[in-house]
Chain A
Amino acid sequence: MISFDNVSKQYKNTSSPALDSINLDIEQGDFVFLVGASGSGKSSLLRLLLKEETATTGVVTVDGINVAKLRNRKVPAYRRTMGIVFQDFRLLPGKTVFENVAFGMEVIGKPKSEIARKVPALLELVGLEEKSHRLPSELSGGEQQRVAMARAFINQPKLLLADEPTGNLDPATSVGIMKLLDRINRIGTTVIMATHDVAIVDQMRKRIVQMEDGKIVRDQERGMYGQTGQ
């Protein structure tokens, strides 16, 4: 579903590349942890998938699409095929839980009737149907991240990108978020999650792609954080 073919990314005014000859294949339905220190290239890799950046060399293919060749006006449609969750949740503080999820649908022009039908279903998926009229400030961090995940799911994406989704959460809350991600993965969604969280990675026993200085130093099925590469 996703392939990186000898991909490098060099940002302007930097000496060493953010990504250095990356080769990576991810199949539909995979759950991949992207681990590594800050600055190792995890975020750059996600940004290439989102087409927020374009690879300096090499080819990134998603669902048969050469991402670099995607026309600007086709980028929005492309992004609707994926959901994104951030460490800082990115909820709108003045809007209720329901409105936050609805906002994501409004801006892509979904009709009111579809919003009214779909938002409650999404909130049910993340276990927040009871709190749909609360404001983000009245929710715990874990609940806020669930709202963000409900919003990431409005287009029923085949791919979910999560950039440190548990970075601001305590361990107990993180487990809840991981269970939710696992459920989303089990219904066929590919999940790529960048994280530092050792406990979570070890517990989940999923595929691990470890990065260091822009290179992939380990790619292991059912791996643990602490294990080093071959």
Chain B
Amino acid sequence: MRFSFVRREVGNGIRRNFTMTVALIVAVAVSLSLVGAALLMRAQVDRMKGYWYDKIEVSIFLCGNTSVAFTCTGAITDEQRANVEAVLGSLAPTVQEIFYESSEDAYGKFQEQFAGSAILANISPDALPESFRVKLDDPANFEKVATALQAVQGVESIQDQRQLLDRFFQILKGLQSFAIAVAIAMLFVTVLLVMNTIRVSAFARRRETSIMRSVGASNISIRLPFILEATVAAVVGSTLATAGILAAKYWVIDARLAPNLTFIPFITWEQVLAIVPVLFLVGVGITVFAASITLRRYLRG
């Protein structure tokens, strides 16, 4: 089998089947864009988790004058405060760092955060509880701290920032699952479209293939032009999807989102480039797979 012959056959096939080939390219491009979007979303979530989990703390709010918790008997005493700190200290290495934040410190931060807001007038330093801010070796170890402190006198409440983040990540996870579901549906459509394209193509060239068989052409040389035809469409479609994803990184993430949302760490170019081979592999892989099983059915020796 000669290269020029195969190239000519593939060219003829694509030209004759042009509309189907275009449909196939678009389907591959759309479904792979979705696959890519789902993968990028996962990378983004992982990156944000890594970044934020590193920063989150456990807040141990201490009793004030108005506290009603059963561990409180009015404002915390110096003795109780020292005891809480000792308990925290005994939890090393789970507890890595301990900061103390007094009501005045808290009020100062509050003032900064709500500068210019009317709410400031209604808040006095007394309304903001003093607290210990604790950094853990692993945010998952929150329970250890909570168990150790929940019955200690002078502790009003213990708050895990991770819970707040987890709720946010759950929403992202939902979006991600949705993107994956749509991507799978589109990949399925692509497989069907490949099958149909190959079937139409095989029907249009049934005379050629019957001649090929009767003169003793090998199965591979009969099927290769069809498979290559689908592969060309898959490569073009994958390229479009890749271009779309790189464009999204460049024009949407880097140019618009990153400068405005400085507190979110966005996916890096390395992470984006890492999914490009995956897209090509998936695109070409499912196309060749679908083409092969269709040919097995329609071009029986």
Contacts from A to B (Cβ < 8 Å): 50, 72-73, 75-80, 84, 90, 92, 103-109, 111-112, 151-152, 154-155
Contact = CB atoms under 8 A, between A and B. Distances in A.
Given A76-B216, A79-B216, A155-B216, A109 B211 contact: no
B215 A80 contact: yes
Given A92-B207, A92-B208, A107 B215 contact: yes
Contacts of A73: 218-219
Size band of the B side of the interface? 10 to 19
B9 to A, nearest CB: 9
A104 B215 contact: yes
B49 interface: no
A72 B222 CA distance: 14
Interface of A is mostly: helix
Given A90-B211, A92-B211, A103-B211, A108 B216 contact: yes
A77 B216 contact: yes
B167 interface: no
Nearest to A80: B216
Contact of B217 (A92, A107, A111, A152): A107
A104 B212 CA distance: 7
Interface string B200-214: 000000011011111
A76 B301 CA distance: 9
B120 to A, nearest CB: 84
Contact of B5 (A84, A107, A154): A107
Contacts of A80: 215-216
A100 B227 CA distance: 23
Contact of A79 (B207, B213, B221): B213
A109 B215 contact: no
10 contacts: A73-B218, A80-B216, A92-B211, A104-B211, A106-B5, A107-B5, A108-B216, A108-B217, A109-B1, A154-B215
A155 B208 contact: no
B207 A90 contact: yes
Given A80-B216, A109-B1, A151 B301 contact: no
